[in-house]
Amino acid sequence: DAKTTQPPSMDCAEGRAANLPCNHSTISGNEYVYWYRQIHSQGPQYIIHGLKNNETNEMASLIITEDRKSSTLILPHATLRDTAVYYCIVRVEENAGKSTFGDGTTLTVKP
């Protein structure tokens, strides 16, 4: 599985968009980009995933660059409840779950 690099921490104002970057320059053609988050000490929660195209669901949008070497998770209107650690994980579908979550980005949403 490709290695990912994320900033250790970010702040965002409540109501503004939160843009969380992830670098995965060694990604291979059949590897997906997954995003999870962990609120306080709870179990991680799936957010979104994508292969090549940009994806959107009720929680967030995922923008993957054309060369697929980086991606951005967008929370369009961040709330205080979005304060969490966000993990970007790259892996092939067959390896779903069989990988380590890195240290992630701690997003703090401020009033």
The residues binding other proteins (CB under 8 A) are: 32, 34, 36, 41-46, 49, 87, 93-94, 96-104
Contact 37, 44 (CB under 8 A): yes
Neighbours of 104 (CB within 10 A): 24
Contact 20, 47 (CB under 8 A): no
Minimum CB–partner distance for residue 32 and other proteins (Å): 7
- Of 72 and 106, the one with the shorter C-beta distance to other proteins is 106
Minimum CB–partner distance for residue 100 and other proteins (Å): 5
- Of 97 and 111, the one with the shorter C-beta distance to other proteins is 97
- Of 100 and 111, the one with the shorter C-beta distance to other proteins is 100
- The length of the chain in residues reads 111
- The phi, psi pair for 49, rounded to 5°, reads -150, 160
- The edge-to-edge listing of strands for the beta sheet with 84-92 is 9-13, 105-110, 84-92, 31-38, 45-50
- Of 21 and 102, the one with the shorter C-beta distance to other proteins is 102
